[in-house]
Structure formats: C-alpha cells, structure tokens
A = this chain, B = another copy of it.
C-alpha cells in the first residue's frame, strides 16, 4: 500500500501502466545528457498530455519545480524507487523452449535490476545444459531452489496445458509475482501478482485495427 502525507492512497491502474514508459524515456534522456525537462516537452515525448503527466507524477510526490520543470536524473531515480527497482529481484524461468531461450538471452532485464538466477525444464535433454550462463535444472527441484535462493518472481514459458500446474508450484514455493507468457488466465492466491504477456492478443488487436469492420 502506498502512503502520502500519512494517508493510504490507491494509485489508479491507468497510472501504474504508464510508469514504466516514463521510466524508459527518462533513461534515454539521461543517456543523452538532458538535465531538465518540462511536463509539456516530456509529455510530447511519451505521448501523454502535460497535465496528465503532472497528475500522474504527483501521486507519488512533488518532483518538479515551478518555473524550471523536472530534473531528469532525480525523476528517473524517484520513479525507479516508486516501482521498486532499487530493491533487486531474483527470478527463475520455467520452460526453456523457443521463447524461454530468447528470454534467457534478453539483456534488458538485468540492466533494470532483474536477476535471472536459473531456469527449469521437464525435458531431460535440456536439464543440465547451460545457456548464456544460465543453468537449466530439473523442474523437480523448483520448490527447494526457490526457498533456498530468495526468489520472488517466476517466469512461465511452458505450453498452455502445463502453465497452471507450473503456476501452482511457483505459488506453493513462495514467489510473490508471476510473469506469464502462456495464453492462459492463471488462477493464483490473491497475495501473488500475475502479469500476463498474451502476445497473440496483441496481434489480434493489430488485425482489428487494420481490417476489422462489420
């Protein structure tokens, strides 16, 4: 729960969805050496109106200064803190198939404090391999590993048929969040957060925009 001036406030989900985008663009500005930016300029960059941007940010604190704007570095760090990035996350991947191997090789996550510790699969031909420095272990060892290594995020990249089963195992072992790539709506206890990447849905939305009509 988030608090502001002592009171608990609920952050609108619409706001939460935009934060990562703000953070990403601030990172790019920082790299370019931009020191300060106004809500109008920044809003234009991220594709959001200036008032909305200010309102969004003010849910978490007053990061700007009248007549000046926002200090890019300060805002970048503030948002990182808001999203909890400065507290490192330990992750495990389950399912080392086509997608799982791509995720193992992705560089973006590590830069932002997400640490992929190991991967699990059920296929004996994969178990024991090391891919891009990540060891593949037998799914049977999942629970013990999660408990021993302070893992709080599990990534699901298994076929849809086994996704719920894997999710159950992850929850039982004690992860706090699941990043799910299987085209399934997982049922988990409500203390665990799930973020779905239903890629095919994105493609269908694109199709609708291009060709949809009655």
User: A-side interface residues toward B, CB under 8 Å?
Assistant: 1-4, 16-17, 19-21, 23-24, 46-47, 60-61, 81-85, 87, 89, 98-99, 101-102, 105-106, 108-109, 112, 114, 152-153, 176-179, 183, 185, 193, 195-214
Contacts of A81 in B (CB 8 A): 214
25 pairs from A and B in contact (CB 8 Å cutoff): A1-B213, A3-B214, A16-B205, A20-B201, A21-B198, A24-B183, A46-B185, A60-B214, A81-B214, A83-B204, A84-B211, A85-B204, A89-B210, A89-B211, A106-B199, A108-B183, A109-B200, A109-B203, A112-B204, A153-B210, A179-B203, A193-B206, A193-B209, A195-B205, A196-B202
- Say yes or no: A179-B202 contact (C-beta < 8 A), given A102-B102, A212-B84: yes
A177 shortest CB reach to chain B, Å = 5
B60, B101, B153, B213: the one contacting A2 at CB < 8 Å is B213
Contact A200–B87 (Cβ < 8 Å):
no
With both beta carbons as reference points, the residue of chain B lying nearest to A194 in the complex is identified as B206
- Say yes or no: A177-B209 contact (C-beta < 8 A), given A99-B102, A183-B24, A200-B109: yes
